[in-house]
């Protein structure tokens, strides 16, 4: 029971985060590509509760205007703009199903609600973070599913049938594990088209990352299958004339579930990192589509790195996500 | 000796497999280096075709592969279209730099990891355990990219460290002491970043295998004989715990190289990483293959080294083979 509670401590925040990014259009105040050309690298907008006379208010912000130096921003204190919930904003299709224009948060005109500041095009960093999270988190998730799928298929094949099938598959796995994964990933990416549509890029990344990582889960699953195959009850079922597919599905594969879960908890953060790395290096998701990788890539410009701390926000979220996933992997 | 020869042969076959794999990938690749030239109206289609046939790009796959294999035997590793030289001459320097960075960082990381892990495993104080667990978890969760960026920030912000490169431009004009100082100055940040990137995994493994050994009865009796704790830890427990750690060294080379790639790119270290990235963007096929292959060679050498160490450290393995 205690163990279960500890697992829940990791699963619930992860589920919440995935829900948040899945419904990014609703939770994000703006579209990820909406530019505010007058507000490049604006700092996070401070949220106020007390106005100039010290009276309590519902939460509000002031409009940001360029300050006297022309280098920074100051708040236009003459007009408070209230933050409102479920406001009408840019129209979108939620999950690609229903059309609506309601956003969770919004602010009265003319102010903009920039809770995490803006990037060089004046695009809201929070909105980009949420949309980018959808790409990064789900790339990791789907790639891990693909990897485990291939690993399950090949690993159980190798473990169950043995002989030359086993030999061929395991030599292949050794080949893949002999390469430093990032070099392999980049090498494989090198020979695939560089400029394609965002959806294609996403699918390409997922299949590339997932395919390259098949070897380790396959080896582990093979080991489990190998020992499960020799269990007495499996041999008994075989003696009663059970077919291969029945044996595999009913007796052998359920044994591998433990390994599959732990591997998933280990592989997902690794693959999120793989997507982030590729996009960071300019080989993955491309502008204007956000991903935590290409958002971090902005920091390779020195002036961004030194002056605009809020541009580090994707990195911070990544650290939190990894801590939770590592915790989950330990407790499984 | 025969055992080492067999491992070497195994490694060689693996390399051959990797090269076939990467070459097969080039076949799926749409376009090549000369595609950009086609867009240039000043270069006629005939010129491009002539260039392609000069470099043998119009030949079938197996012929290209054999040609390339021949140039590998001459140490050339094919031809770089972008640099107009043999890939080998580009790679050797870069590989040396990568090896320097990873080698130094690995050495440093192990030097820190072994005493730290052993101490944390032996300690019974709660705050030591909490600090150790929390610290390694946090360090483990920080992606290499972020780590490298933070170090870059440190360098740019403070100006204490040079940003990028391995030596100053006027390096040859320094005297011996100046050269050493300049090198240390340039090495400091990338090596520290690499060390921090590899440290948490190592410390955790040292901790795990030491904790296991510390629970064994022979250490209890050794303590009963009145052997002092420090001697107990490093003379008695460590050699027993060393075995899985040496194999870990072999396995960690792969992730080491991957971490090194990112740190090299972000901190502009002239290693294999930036070269690989550059050649990917330019579709300089042979350089990509060469870089991937070179990383595999480093990995295989690392594994071989681990095997030899294991052979030296563990008498059981000597008997078996």
Mean pLDDT of A95-117: 80
Q: Is the dihedral of CA A59, A64, A68, A70 positive or negative?
A: positive
Query: How far is Cα B139 from Cα A2, in angstroms, rounded to an integer?
Result: 27
Which residues pair with residue A98 across a beta bridge? A94
Mean pLDDT of B196-217: 88
Element (H, E) at A86: strand A73-94
CA-derived radius of gyration, chain A = 25
A167 at B interface, C-beta within 8 A: no
Give the chain B residue nearest A180 (alpha carbons).
B254
Question: What is the ipTM, given to two decimal places?
Answer: 0.84
B288 vs A190, A194, A299: nearest CB = A190
To the nearest whole Å, the CA of B294 is away from the closest chain A CA by 10
Q: Do B280 and A189 touch (CB under 8 A)?
A: yes
Q: Would you call the peptide bond into A110 cis, given omega within 30 degrees of 0 as the criterion?
A: yes
Q: SS3 of A75, please?
A: strand
Q: Inform me whether the pLDDT recorded for B29 exceeds 70.
A: no
To the nearest whole Å, the CA of B220 is away from the closest chain A CA by 29
Mean pLDDT of A8-31: 86
Q: Based on the number of CB atoms within 10 Å of its own CB, is A308 exposed (0-12), middle (13-18) or buried (19 or more)?
A: buried
* pLDDT at position B108: 92
To the nearest whole Å, the CA of B277 is away from the closest chain A CA by 8
User: Predicted confidence band at A288 (pLDDT cuts at 50, 70, 90)?
Assistant: confident
Query: How far is Cα A148 from Cα A162, in angstroms, rounded to an integer?
Result: 20
Mean pLDDT of A17-39: 85
Residue of B133, B146, B301 for testing the chain A interface, max A β-carbons within 10 Å: B146
* pLDDT at position B169: 67
Q: Inform me whether the pLDDT recorded for A148 exceeds 90.
A: yes
Query: Which phi and psi angles does B281 have, rounded to 5°?
Result: -65, -30
With contact defined as beta carbons under 8 Å apart, do B168 and B181 qualify? Answer: no
Of the candidates A330, A202, A327, the residue with the CA atom closest to the CA atom of residue A271: A202
Of the candidates A144, A89, A131, the residue with the CA atom closest to the CA atom of residue A325: A144
A306 vs B157, B255, B265: nearest CB = B157
Query: How far is Cα A108 from Cα A105, in angstroms, rounded to an integer?
Result: 10
Mean pLDDT of A130-144: 91
Mean pLDDT of B194-223: 87
Write out chain B residues lying below 8 Å of A192, CB-based.
28-30
Q: What angle do CA A178, A182, A184 make, to 5 degrees?
A: 55
Q: Inform me whether the pLDDT recorded for A48 exceeds 60.
A: yes
Percent of residues, chain A, with pLDDT higher than 90? 10
* pLDDT at position B279: 84
With contact defined as beta carbons under 8 Å apart, do A203 and A138 qualify? Answer: no
Q: Inform me whether the pLDDT recorded for A3 exceeds 80.
A: no
Give the chain B residue nearest A171 (alpha carbons).
B14
A304 at B interface, C-beta within 8 A: no
Angular region, A122: left φ>0, alpha ψ -120 to 50, beta rest: left
**A216 versus B164: which is more confidently predicted?**
A216
Mean pLDDT of A40-65: 82
Q: Inform me whether the pLDDT recorded for B92 exceeds 90.
A: no
Q: Do A193 and B153 touch (CB under 8 A)?
A: no
Percent of residues, chain A, with pLDDT higher than 70? 98
Give the chain B residue nearest A300 (alpha carbons).
B266
Which residues pair with residue B79 across a beta bridge? B86
DSSP structural state of residue A195:
S
Packing angle between helix B285-313 and helix B2-28, nearest 10 degrees?
Answer: 160
* pLDDT at position B32: 67
Write out chain B residues lying below 8 Å of A306, CB-based.
153, 156-157
Residue of A178, A276, A312 for testing the chain B interface, max B β-carbons within 10 Å: A178
Write out chain A residues lying below 8 Å of B283, CB-based.
190
User: Predicted confidence band at A286 (pLDDT cuts at 50, 70, 90)?
Assistant: confident
CA A241 to chain centre: 46
User: Predicted confidence band at B180 (pLDDT cuts at 50, 70, 90)?
Assistant: confident
- Other CB atoms within 10 A of residue B313 CB: 14
- CA-CA distances (angstroms) from residue B300 to B11, B14, B142, B180, B262? 6, 9, 27, 31, 20
* pLDDT at position A145: 94
Q: Inform me whether the pLDDT recorded for A143 exceeds 90.
A: yes
* pLDDT at position B321: 56
Q: In chain A, what's the furthest Cα-to-Cα distance?
A: 87
Of the candidates B116, B310, B118, B307, the residue with the CA atom closest to the CA atom of residue B209: B118
Q: Do A326 and B21 touch (CB under 8 A)?
A: no
Q: Which residues contact B102 (CB under 8 A, 6 or more apart)?
A: B194, B256, B257, B260, B298
Query: How far is Cα B98 from Cα B91, in angstroms, rounded to an integer?
Result: 10
- Number of inter-chain CB pairs under 8 A, A vs B: 126
A185-237 residue pLDDT tens = 887 777 777 677 888 888 888 888 888 888 889 988 988 888 888 888 888 88
Structure pTM?
A: 0.86
To the nearest whole Å, the CA of A277 is away from the closest chain B CA by 7
With contact defined as beta carbons under 8 Å apart, do A171 and A222 qualify? Answer: no
What share of residues in chain B are helix, strand, coil (percent, to 5)? 80, 0, 20
What does the mean pLDDT of chain B come to? 81
Write out chain B residues lying below 8 Å of A187, CB-based.
22, 25, 276, 288-289, 291-292
Q: Inform me whether the pLDDT recorded for B57 exceeds 80.
A: no
* pLDDT at position A149: 93
User: Predicted confidence band at A105 (pLDDT cuts at 50, 70, 90)?
Assistant: confident
A195 at B interface, C-beta within 8 A: no
The number of residues making up chain B comes to 321
Angular region, B226: left φ>0, alpha ψ -120 to 50, beta rest: left
Which residues pair with residue A62 across a beta bridge? A80
Mean pLDDT of A306-319: 88
User: Predicted confidence band at A1 (pLDDT cuts at 50, 70, 90)?
Assistant: low
With contact defined as beta carbons under 8 Å apart, do A24 and A130 qualify? Answer: yes
* pLDDT at position A252: 83
What does the mean pLDDT of chain A come to? 84
Q: SS3 of A231, please?
A: coil
User: HSE (CB half, 13 Å, CA atoms) of B199?
Assistant: 25
Mean pLDDT of A91-100: 78
Q: Do A322 and B140 touch (CB under 8 A)?
A: yes
Query: How far is Cα A32 from Cα A133, in angstroms, rounded to an integer?
Result: 12
A178 vs B288, B289, B296: nearest CB = B296
Q: Which residues contact B147 (CB under 8 A, 6 or more apart)?
A: B193, B196, B197, B263
* pLDDT at position A147: 93
Mean pLDDT of A91-114: 79
Which residues pair with residue A271 across a beta bridge? none
With contact defined as beta carbons under 8 Å apart, do A107 and A86 qualify? Answer: no
DSSP structural state of residue A63:
E
* pLDDT at position A184: 78
Q: Do B26 and A191 touch (CB under 8 A)?
A: yes
CA B191 to chain centre: 12
User: Predicted confidence band at B231 (pLDDT cuts at 50, 70, 90)?
Assistant: confident
CA-derived radius of gyration, chain B = 24
Query: How far is Cα B123 from Cα B121, in angstroms, rounded to an integer?
Result: 6
Query: How far is Cα A307 from Cα A40, in angstroms, rounded to an integer?
Result: 12
- Sheet containing A73-94: which strands, arranged edge to edge? A48-50, A56-66, A73-94, A98-107
Q: β-strand B85-86 against B79-80: which pairing, if any?
A: antiparallel
A197 at B interface, C-beta within 8 A: no
DSSP structural state of residue A118:
B
Q: Inform me whether the pLDDT recorded for B189 exceeds 90.
A: no
Q: β-strand A48-50 against A73-94: which pairing, if any?
A: unpaired
Q: Based on the number of CB atoms within 10 Å of its own CB, is A263 exposed (0-12), middle (13-18) or buried (19 or more)?
A: buried
Q: Do A283 and B157 touch (CB under 8 A)?
A: no
A179 vs B18, B30, B285: nearest CB = B18
User: Predicted confidence band at A146 (pLDDT cuts at 50, 70, 90)?
Assistant: very high
* pLDDT at position B30: 64
Residue of B256, B280, B302 for testing the chain A interface, max A β-carbons within 10 Å: B280
With contact defined as beta carbons under 8 Å apart, do A210 and A143 qualify? Answer: yes
Q: Do B22 and A277 touch (CB under 8 A)?
A: no
Mean pLDDT of A167-174: 85
Give the chain B residue nearest A172 (alpha carbons).
B17
Mean pLDDT of A142-158: 91
Write out chain B residues lying below 8 Å of A174, CB-based.
14
* pLDDT at position A268: 92
Q: Which residues contact B119 (CB under 8 A, 6 or more apart)?
A: B128, B233
CA B251 to chain centre: 11
User: Predicted confidence band at B125 (pLDDT cuts at 50, 70, 90)?
Assistant: confident
- CA-CA distances (angstroms) from residue A141 to A200, A269, B13? 17, 8, 34
Q: Inform me whether the pLDDT recorded for B257 exceeds 70.
A: yes
Q: Do B18 and A174 touch (CB under 8 A)?
A: no
Residue of A190, A291, A300 for testing the chain B interface, max B β-carbons within 10 Å: A190
Mean pLDDT of A37-46: 83
* pLDDT at position A319: 92
Mean pLDDT of A101-115: 80
Taking the CA atoms of residue B22, residue A146, residue B201 and residue B238 in that order, the dihedral angle to the nearest 10 degrees is -90
Query: How far is Cα A49 from Cα B241, in angstroms, rounded to an integer?
Result: 59
With contact defined as beta carbons under 8 Å apart, do A35 and A287 qualify? Answer: no
A97 at B interface, C-beta within 8 A: no
Mean pLDDT of A106-123: 82
**A262 versus A80: which is more confidently predicted?**
A262
Q: Inform me whether the pLDDT recorded for B144 exceeds 90.
A: no
B143 vs A191, A192, A273: nearest CB = A273
Q: Inform me whether the pLDDT recorded for A329 exceeds 70.
A: yes
* pLDDT at position B69: 80
DSSP structural state of residue A309:
G
B18 vs A175, A276, A302: nearest CB = A175
């Amino acid at each position: 029971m205690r163990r279960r509670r500890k697992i829940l401590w990791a699963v619930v925040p992860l589920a919440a985060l995935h829900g948040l990014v899945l419904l990014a259009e609703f939770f994000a105040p703006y579209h990820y590509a909406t530019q505010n050309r007058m507000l490049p690298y604006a700092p996070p907008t401070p949220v106020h509760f007390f106005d100039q006379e010290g009276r309590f208010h519902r939460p509000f912000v002031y409009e940001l205007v360029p300050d006297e130096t022309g280098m920074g921003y100051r708040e236009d204190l003459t007009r408070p703009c209230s933050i409102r919930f479920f406001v009408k904003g840019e129209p979108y299709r939620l999950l690609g199903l229903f059309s609506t224009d309601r956003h969770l948060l919004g602010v009265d005109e003319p102010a903009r609600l920039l809770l995490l500041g803006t990037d060089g095009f004046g695009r809201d960093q929070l909105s980009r973070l949420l949309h980018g999270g959808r790409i990064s988190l789900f790339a990791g998730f789907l790639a891990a599913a693909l990897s485990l799928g291939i690993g399950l298929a090949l690993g159980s094949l190798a473990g169950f049938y043995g002989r030359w099938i086993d030999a061929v598959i395991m030599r292949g796995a050794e080949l893949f594990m002999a390469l430093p994964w990032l070099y392999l990933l980049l090498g494989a990416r090198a020979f695939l088209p560089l400029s394609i549509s965002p959806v294609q890029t996403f699918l390409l990344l997922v299949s590339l990352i997932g395919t390259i990582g098949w070897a380790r889960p396959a080896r582990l699953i093979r080991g489990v299958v190998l020992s499960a195959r020799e269990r007495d009850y499996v041999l008994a079922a075989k003696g009663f004339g059970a077919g291969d597919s029945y044996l595999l599905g009913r007796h052998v594969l359920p044994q591998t579930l433990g390994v599959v879960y732990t591997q998933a908890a280990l592989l997902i953060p690794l693959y999120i990192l793989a997507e982030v790395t590729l996009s960071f290096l300019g080989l993955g998701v491309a502008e204007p589509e956000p991903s935590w990788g290409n958002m971090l890539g902005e920091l390779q410009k020195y002036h961004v790195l030194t002056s605009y701390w809020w541009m580090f926000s994707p990195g911070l979220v990544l650290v939190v996500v990894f801590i939770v996933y590592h915790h989950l992997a330990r407790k499984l | 000796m025969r055992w080492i020869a067999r491992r070497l042969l195994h490694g060689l076959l693996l390399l051959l497999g990797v090269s076939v794999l990467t070459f097969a990938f080039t076949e799926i690749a749409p376009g090549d280096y000369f595609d950009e030239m086609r867009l240039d109206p000043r270069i006629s289609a005939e010129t491009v075709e002539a260039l392609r046939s000069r470099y043998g790009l119009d030949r079938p796959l197996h012929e290209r592969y054999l040609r390339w294999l021949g140039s590998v035997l001459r140490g050339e590793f094919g031809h770089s279209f972008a640099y107009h030289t043999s890939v080998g001459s580009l790679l050797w320097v870069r590989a040396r730099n990568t090896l320097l960075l990873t080698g130094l960082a690995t050495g440093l990381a192990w030097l820190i990891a072994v005493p730290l892990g052993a101490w944390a495993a032996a300690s019974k104080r709660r705050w030591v355990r909490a600090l150790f667990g929390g610290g390694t978890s946090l360090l483990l969760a920080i992606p290499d990219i972020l780590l490298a960026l933070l170090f870059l920030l440190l360098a740019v912000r403070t100006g204490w460290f040079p940003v990028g490169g391995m030596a100053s431009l006027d390096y040859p004009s320094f005297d011996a002491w100046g050269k050493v100082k300049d090198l240390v100055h340039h090495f400091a940040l990338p090596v520290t970043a690499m060390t921090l990137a590899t440290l948490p995994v190592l410390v955790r493994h040292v901790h795990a295998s030491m904790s296991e050994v510390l629970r064994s009865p022979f250490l209890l009796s050794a303590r009963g004989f009145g052997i002092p704790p420090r001697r107990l830890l490093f003379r008695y427990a460590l050699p027993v715990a060393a075995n899985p750690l040496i194999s870990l060294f072999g396995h960690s080379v792969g992730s080491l190289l991957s971490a090194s790639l990112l740190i090299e790119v972000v901190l502009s270290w002239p290693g294999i990483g930036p070269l690989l990235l550059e050649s990917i963007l330019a579709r300089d096929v042979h350089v990509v293959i060469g870089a991937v292959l070179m990383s595999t060679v480093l990995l295989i050498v690392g594994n071989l080294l681990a095997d030899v160490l294991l052979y030296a450290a563990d008498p059981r393995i000597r008997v078996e083979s």
